[in-house]
Amino acid sequence: MEEAARIILWCYLGFLGFSLLLYLPRILYWIAAFLPMERARSEGKSRFAVIVPAREEGEVLAGALQSLLEQDYDPACYDIYVVVKGKDDPSREVASRFPRNEILDVPGQRSKAEALDGALKEILGRGTPYDAYIFVDADNLAAQDFLSQMNNAMALGKDIVIGKKLIKNFFSDLKESRSFSSDSTSLTYAQLDELGNRARTMLGAPVALVGTGMLVSSRVIEQNGGWPYRSLTEDYELGADAILKGWTSCYYPWAKVYTEETVDAKGAYQRRIRWIKGYGTVHSRYRSCVWKASLPKGKGWIKVGFIFGRAPIYMMFGSSFLASFTGLAFLILSLCGMLPPLFPALLFLVPLLAAYLLLLLLNLVTVIKEWKNMPIGFLGKMSLIFLSPFYNLTYFPIFLTCLRKDEKSFSWEKTPRASFRKRG
C-alpha cells in the first residue's frame, strides 16, 4: 500500500507537469495583460440600439437607465430598449419613470436568450436602421463614455466587441454590497478579459464572449434574424458560432461597464453551475464543427483556443483532487495501523498545496493587473489573493454537479441583488 501511494504521487507529479506544459500558452497570455493595446478613433458617429434585458429587475434597473441617459454620446445616435416579460413585470413601472427608452414586452420568456430574440425580432421587423446593437444588463452601470468608446471601437471593423467589466460592488460605500463570495467571483471577469481576451485580441484570435457590455454589428443580427442561441451561456455560444461563420471579435477595454456580483453565496454557487454547464454544452455542441472548419485553413489559434478550451485547467485541478482524495483514503488506513503514514500524507497534502499555489499565483497576477480598479484597500486585496483560492476550490463539487445534471433540468432563476450606494 505504501508503494502504491508512492507510485500514485509520482504519477500525479508527472501528470501535473504535463498539464502545466499544455497551459504554458495561457501563462504567456498573462504577460500580454501588461502590454499596451491599439486604441481606435472613429471619425463618424454610429447609430446604436441599446438593449437592456430587465425581466423582474426593478430594484436595479433605475441605475442602468440613468447611466445610459448620462452618456456623453449624441442622444440622437442611440435608442434604448428595455425588455420585460409583460405588463405585470415590476421593471415596466421603473422604466416608465425614465425618458428616452422604449419598453418591449416579450411574454413567456424563459431565459435571457428568449428575451433578446423576441426584442430583436420586433426591432428588425420595424426596419429601423442601426449600425450595431449593444447589450447592457439591468444590474450594470455604464461609464459615461461607454457609448463613445464603443463608437471608437467600430473603427476596428469587428463584428463583435466586448468592453471591460468592472465590479460595481467595489464602488459602493455600503458594507452589505460585498461578501467573500462576491469578491472572489469578481476576479473571474478580469481573468477572462485581461488575462485572456486581451492577448487574443492582439493575436487576432476570437475572444471569449460575455454578454453584457457587448456590441454586435447589425450584419450579425440581421444574418441571424434575431438571437437564435438557447444554451445556458448563450453569449459564449455566439462566440462559437462566430468562429464557424467568420464573424470577427475583439476586446476593447476602454468601453467600460460596472457589473454586479451577487453577495448571496447560494445564488453565486447556482450561477456558477449554470456557467460551467453552459460552457461544457457549447463545447460539446460546437467542438467538432470548429475543428473541421479550422483544419483546411490552418488556423492553429482556433484549434488551441476553442478546441482545447480549459482542458489543461481541468486536468490540473481534476488530477489534484483525485490524487488528494486517494491520499486521504490511504491516510485513514495508515492511521488504523495498516501502513506507514509518510507517503499517504504526502499524497493527500501535495496535490492540495499545488492547487492552492496555482490559484494563488493566478489571483496575484489578477489583483496586480486590476489594482487601480479595486478600491478595497491593501488588506482587502491581500485577502483576495490568499483566501479566494479556497473559494475557487468549490468549483470541484460544481463540476461533479454538472456531470450528473442535464441542461434541461436548469430553469431561469432570479439572481439575488446586492444593495448599492455609490461612493461619494
> Can you give the CATH number for the domain in which 232 is found?
3.90.550.10
| Same structural domain, 16 and 116 | no
Sequence-ordered list of residues with C-beta below 8 angstroms from that of 235, at least 6 positions apart, any chain: 209, 210, 211, 214, 229
Residue 121 is assigned to a structural domain of this protein: yes
pLDDT at 290 over 60: yes
Residue 417 is assigned to a structural domain of this protein: no
| Same structural domain, 152 and 11 | no
| Same structural domain, 262 and 180 | yes
Q: How far apart are CA 331 and CA 226, in angstroms?
A: 57
| Same structural domain, 350 and 290 | no
C-alpha distances (whole Å) from 166 to each of 196, 233, 258, 272 are 16, 20, 5, 18
pLDDT at 81 over 60: yes
Least confident range from 68-82, 326-340, 352-366: namely: 326-340
pLDDT at 104 over 80: yes
Q: Which amino acid is at 260?
A: E
| Same structural domain, 180 and 253 | yes
| Same structural domain, 78 and 222 | yes
pLDDT at 340 over 80: no
- The residue segments making up the domain with residue 312 are 2-31+304-409
Under the phi-then-psi rule, with left for phi > 0, alpha for psi from -120 to 50, and beta for the rest, what region is 11? alpha
Residue 416 is assigned to a structural domain of this protein: no
C-alpha distances (whole Å) from 218 to each of 120, 156, 256, 312 are 11, 15, 21, 36
What pLDDT score does 115 carry? Answer: 95
Average pLDDT over every residue of 60-76: 97
pLDDT at 20 over 60: yes
Closest CA to 53 of 136, 125, 110, 127: 136
pLDDT in tens, 127-141: 999 999 999 999 999
Domain boundary among 279, 299, 319: 299
Position with higher pLDDT, 57 vs 338:
57
Mean pLDDT score across all residues of the chain? 90
| Same structural domain, 11 and 160 | no
What pLDDT score does 394 carry? Answer: 85
Please check whether residue 252 is in contact with residue 197, taking contact to mean a CB–CB distance below 8 angstroms: no
At residue 96 the predicted structure's pLDDT band, cuts being 50, 70 and 90, is: very high
Q: Which amino acid is at 350?
A: V
Residue 210 is assigned to a structural domain of this protein: yes
Q: Which long-range contacts (CB under 8 A, 24 or more apart) does 396-400 make?
A: 396/317, 396/321, 398/269, 398/272, 398/273, 398/276, 399/276, 399/314, 399/318
pLDDT at 304 over 60: no
Position with higher pLDDT, 421 vs 263:
263
pLDDT at 14 over 90: yes
Domain boundary among 244, 265, 299: 299
Please check whether residue 161 is in contact with residue 53, taking contact to mean a CB–CB distance below 8 angstroms: no
| Same structural domain, 66 and 95 | yes
At residue 158 the predicted structure's pLDDT band, cuts being 50, 70 and 90, is: very high
What pLDDT score does 296 carry? Answer: 55
pLDDT in tens, 207-259: 999 989 999 999 999 999 999 999 999 999 999 999 889 899 999 999 999 99
What pLDDT score does 40 carry? Answer: 95
Closest CA to 367 of 157, 173, 110, 194: 194
Residue 190 is assigned to a structural domain of this protein: yes
Least confident range from 162-166, 292-296, 366-370: namely: 292-296
Please check whether residue 79 is in contact with residue 50, taking contact to mean a CB–CB distance below 8 angstroms: yes
Please check whether residue 380 is in contact with residue 169, taking contact to mean a CB–CB distance below 8 angstroms: no
| Same structural domain, 101 and 220 | yes
Residue 40 is assigned to a structural domain of this protein: no
pLDDT at 123 over 80: yes
| Same structural domain, 371 and 289 | no
C-alpha distances (whole Å) from 115 to each of 125, 143, 227, 234, 315 are 16, 24, 9, 12, 36
At residue 396 the predicted structure's pLDDT band, cuts being 50, 70 and 90, is: confident
| Same structural domain, 214 and 198 | yes
pLDDT in tens, 249-271: 999 999 999 999 999 988 888 88
Give the N- to C-terminal CA distance of the chain in Å, as an integer.
63
Q: What is the CA radius of gyration of the chain?
A: 23
Q: How far apart are CA 306 and CA 290, in angstroms?
A: 8
What pLDDT score does 258 carry? Answer: 97
Q: How far apart are CA 276 and CA 274, in angstroms?
A: 6
Residue 422 is assigned to a structural domain of this protein: no
What pLDDT score does 408 carry? Answer: 77
C-alpha distances (whole Å) from 144 to each of 65, 67, 135, 256 are 12, 7, 16, 9
Q: How far apart are CA 270 and CA 190, in angstroms?
A: 21
| Same structural domain, 198 and 94 | yes
What pLDDT score does 151 carry? Answer: 98
Please check whether residue 163 is in contact with residue 257, taking contact to mean a CB–CB distance below 8 angstroms: yes
pLDDT at 303 over 70: no
Q: Which amino acid is at 15?
A: F
Domain boundary among 255, 281, 299: 299
What pLDDT score does 338 carry? Answer: 62
What pLDDT score does 141 carry? Answer: 97
Residue 35 phi, psi dihedral angles, 5° rounding: -100, 150
What pLDDT score does 400 carry? Answer: 83
pLDDT at 301 over 70: no
In 214-364, where do the E strands start and end? Answer: 214-217, 249-259
Residue 423 is assigned to a structural domain of this protein: no
Question: How many structural domains are present in the chain?
Answer: 2
Least confident range from 17-26, 80-89, 381-390: namely: 17-26
What pLDDT score does 409 carry? Answer: 79
Please check whether residue 238 is in contact with residue 160, taking contact to mean a CB–CB distance below 8 angstroms: yes
